[in-house]
Amino acid sequence: GGHVGPTDASGGRGARVVHSLSSGTTRASRLPASASMLVEHRLAPGKLVIIVQGVESLGDLHDLDVGPDRVTFVAHGQRHTVALGHAAIDVDTCGARFKKKRLELLWQRESCDGGPVVNGSVVAAGRGAEAEVLSPAEQTQRQLDTPALTAEGASAAGTAKRADESADSAGSGGGGLDGTVRFRLREAVRWALEQLERLRVPESATGLNRFKAEVGLAELGLYASRCSRLGVPTALLAPLRVAEDALHAELAALAAGEMPGTAALSELTAVVRRTAAAVADVDRELTAAAPAFGARADDAIMLTTTLGQARWRLRDGTELGPGIGTWKLSPEEAEARVVAALRGGWRHVDTAAEYGTEAAVGRALTASGVPRCEVFVNLKVAAESASELRSVLAASLRNFGGGAVDCLMLHRAPAAGGALQEVWAVLEEAARSGRTRLLGASNVSAAQLEQLCASATKPAVVQLKCSVFHQGGYFPEGGPAALWEVIRRHGIVPVGISLFNPLHSCVSPLEEPLIGGWAQDLGASPAELLAQWARGAGVCPLVRCSPGHAAALHGSRLRLPPRTAAALSALSSLTETAYCPALSDPFGLHAPTGRRLMRCGEALRGRLVQVHGLGCAAGRPLNGCRGRLEGFDDDAGRWDVAIPGASEAAKLRPENLALVEEHSGEAEGQELAEAAGRFLRELLATGGLEPMLRALAERREEVTWALEETVAANLEMAAARGWAVKQQVLARLLGAVREALERRSPHPGTVALPPPTLDLSAIRLAGDCWDEAAERALAALLAALEGSGYAICDGFAGREEVAQLATELGEYDTAFETAKILVGKQATGAEISVPAVRSDRIFWVCGEHRTPAAERLWDSAGTQPAVGLAPCRPEVVMSKAVYGFPRLAALMRRLDDFVLGRIAKRCDRLKGLVERSDAMVSIYDKGARFQKHIDNPNRDGRVLTSVFYLNPETDDRPWSREDGGHLRVFLGKDEPPADFAPECGRLALFWADRIPHEVLPSRRRRRALTYWWFDRAEREAKVRETDESGTASMQTEDERLAQAFVAHMLRDGVTPAQVNAHARNLPAGALDAVAKVVGAEDGAQALEGLERLSQADLERLRGSMQHMGLE
């Protein structure tokens, strides 16, 4: 494309650049002007690649307009905009070109061809000559003159050009950017889900065949899940890994002879389907070269010859090239195809007694006209005993009719392990008699191959199943790694069979989308890609003698980019099971996806400790000093200890600190001293030093600092009075006591860090122009919400927006009032202020609902304004500076559109979502908290809770664990709760009627905006229930008295008798309210129950009331 230059005369940074892509030469459009086209783009430093469906030449693009943060163009009559979200393009140095059906914009760095961008023209690196500068017109003409490449059947010139192009793309590794490999994971997951819908294990399958079929189908499910894990946000990894673990457990049960069914695979499929829309294609950087399984072919030959001309040197000095097989061919087919293959250049033919093709191969050798000495013939035979093998071998060679073969191969080891050496001896005998030059083995384990290598004649060749998904066999005994190690150590040439055959697996290499995509990138077929992969890995390919494979692959000049080869080798980790293990884990799929653990000293904060064991010059003066723990630095592994008189806290390891007991007063101190005296007398009465030390060890948990002080005081007295023996005994005892105390180091507790959060910045940046990135972010949120019941999202609002909203609401700080809780098992329970349960302050803002209040689809928090937003309490005067809450109104509309317009339409559980509550703004500070609860245990219509955090971000003080105020979400019975900091702009969504949660004590001012979202059907049912029961609102006095009673009942130290006395003085209305709190039918039943309360009953009642909303 031609670089016309900036339209802004100033030419300054940020000026827009227009590129004219009209070349004067046009081609027929593949899509009509009205067609909807898919536009994809990939951004990397200095480079933007844009792919438009149906656009394959410059003539299809017009009016290219490039700005710092977006690119627009016209294709097939439609204008398209690629928005980058930020200023990424340097328009002053930007050049454009069209290459490999992709529009590429380059700036401020070298181009893909290795040349810099000069004045808008691309400098192409010349091969063996000086660089050639191409003008815009020359670039256009050269690209138009480049012929299109087909996937298969290319001419010699075409394959040579493909080799050049694949060499150029070695740095990009098959479609990626900057040396990466593009993994088209979305297509891979879609394909796998389609296969999982279609495939089933046949009912007729039994025994080992059925088990292999079960494993093969499980491999497909694992492939789908692991592709998803590579492409979804980290917040969605855990459910996928849990489902994978369940499938592995089910396979283990099947292997043990149990029949657990297919529930695990069904659940895994459901999880994959739930997360599929959140999967993104990724560019991954892998190692520069694929692993070499066996000995590589000569490098010079590999770089300059076709696939069919590559050679591996055998032990006798001869060379072996890629071969063709005759498995599952009739004699007639085998003869015709082998003749064609030999005439086409193939010089390695495989046959077997069990195939019944020996005679056909012998006839083909004669008919082809190729000299016999040029063809390597491999004949496989098998039997369970030596005598049987002699008969099989004689018959097979007689059928072959061509005299000796080049290699006799044991097709498989006999079932009886002791017979292996006997049958191998038969083959050695055949070699000595001249019926073969070499011996080989097929389908053997590492241990069996090692046993054969200990014989007089070692195997020179080994055939093994080697596809990208099963690199070294299917169900290999002992695993593939051990087999490859034996092959390399003994210099055996590996011949790879089943390169294209999925065997029992349901993931076919020739159909799998990742392989297909890389093949398309290189202008090759999947079969060509796989054969060249095997060649590069040191494995001699043996392909089935089909006309398509034999003719197309022999002349292949494809040079596989190293990163693509590495990507192909990595695919086995996508289908790995315990029965077909992979050789490596390049994607880190085995790494734990669970919660990361962190040591936390919160529970020990403020405890008194004594320093000991410091040996450095600066530390020794601190030994014996006491101080208090301030906090634990997990990264450094040290406590901050405040020692009196020190200018700053000392950072000390736990092993240099010992916890010190503290007593509350003189009486407790005297009691501890007396207990220590009794303990010392009991130790001294044991009758000797060793018995005394054993007794101390047995009672180690009773050792206190008071005992240490008592022993030290007695030691001083013994020294003052000259009691030498007693002094020695007490000195040993004092050392043992101090050792016991020093072992009580203040080790911090271990806490699980919260799961990763989701990033909604793409949704914020998209605004009304919903794009692919926003769609994936929404899909990830939905997957998290439907799979886990909650989603914690960052980036829904920017820092500036949050700061402005916090300032607006800050105008009403004096209007906040103490929050109340709704207690009881009915929706009409009492609203009571109980600081022990909830101690935040709240402020309600009413207005801007989508349905009228008369429909009662939401609970009104107060007086609703005629228009706009206003405080729900009429007595609160609106601030003139922020009249009508403009910032809150803008955020509220965004949330309404997002929840009702996006989430509800895509989430089955929220299909009936119709309204939200008024806005509740809450402030937590000075230790305020809200104990564990469920928002809606009574089915009042609220199904979704959204909490938006209004805490402005400051660079000098990010929100920390010490600040408190975290949202704690309880994830399940066996899962530790997750704590999420109330960070700036964070949005928390969770099921209002299912997810237990609490707000931890906040030591820093914490503000949040909460809405509840109502389901129409559930809300209408609750309204009908309330109308039918005729429940009236509580009177003000009754509410006050009920509140006072519950607060009294929750107070520590109150006895059942005091509770009963208080209850008997309540009027009937207040008792009815109390009945709703404690779950009784009416006031009389509540009073009757309270009169029977024991102390234990009272404690349980308090506990249940302090976890309101939980059964």
Annotated catalytic sites, by residue?
355
Q: How far apart are CA 892 and CA 948, in angstroms?
A: 10
Cβ proximity of 737 and 770 under 8 Å? no
* Strand stretches in 886-1026, DSSP E: 913-916, 919-924, 928-933, 942-949, 967-969, 978-980, 987-991, 997-1002, 1006-1015
Helix, strand and coil content of the chain, in percent to the nearest 5, comes to 40, 20, 40
Amino acid sitting at position 932: K
Structure tokens at 540: 């001699």
Amino acid sitting at position 504: H
Q: How far apart are CA 162 and CA 168, in angstroms?
A: 10
Cβ proximity of 365 and 372 under 8 Å? yes
Count of C-beta atoms within a 10 Å radius of residue 820: 16
Question: How far is CA 68 from each of CA 61, 71, 1036, rounded to the nearest angstrom?
Answer: 20, 8, 63
Amino acid sitting at position 894: R
User: Which 8-state DSSP code applies to residue 838?
Assistant: B
Q: How far apart are CA 975 and CA 790, in angstroms?
A: 14
Helix H segments across 653-798? 666-684, 689-698, 705-721, 724-742, 761-766, 772-788
φ, ψ for residue 66, nearest 5 deg: -110, 125
Q: Vertex 299, ends 294 and 300: CA angle to 5°?
A: 155
User: Which 8-state DSSP code applies to residue 964?
Assistant: B
Give the residue from 950, 910, 943 showing the smallest Cα distance to 1012.
943
Angle between helices 886-896 and 799-810 (to 10 degrees): 130
Q: How far apart are CA 791 and CA 757, in angstroms?
A: 7
Q: Vertex 782, ends 780 and 784: CA angle to 5°?
A: 70
Q: How far apart are CA 336 and CA 936, in angstroms?
A: 76
Q: How far apart are CA 201 and CA 223, in angstroms?
A: 17
Question: How far is CA 901 from each of CA 157, 506, 606, 894, 896, rounded to the nearest angstrom?
Answer: 56, 40, 50, 10, 7
Amino acid sitting at position 755: P
Cβ proximity of 573 and 587 under 8 Å? yes
Q: How far apart are CA 8 and CA 15, in angstroms?
A: 6
* Beta bridge pairs of residue 1007: 923
Beta strands at 493-497 and 70-75: parallel, antiparallel or unpaired: unpaired
Beta strands at 461-465 and 436-442: parallel, antiparallel or unpaired: parallel
Amino acid sitting at position 838: R
Count of C-beta atoms within a 10 Å radius of residue 30: 14
Collapse the DSSP code of 908 into the 3-class scheme (helix H, G, I; strand E, B; otherwise coil) and give the result.
helix
Q: How far apart are CA 414 and CA 381, in angstroms?
A: 11
Q: Which helix (H) or strand (E) holds 336?
A: helix 331-343
Cβ proximity of 862 and 875 under 8 Å? no
* Beta bridge pairs of residue 48: 43, 105
Give the residue from 242, 241, 265, 261 showing the smallest Cα distance to 253.
261
* DSSP codes of every residue in 290-337: ----SPPPPHHHHHHS-GGG--EE-TTS-EE--EEE-TT--HHHHHHH
| Burial of residue 810, with CB atoms counted within 10 A of its CB: 0-12 exposed, 13-18 middle, 19 or more buried | middle
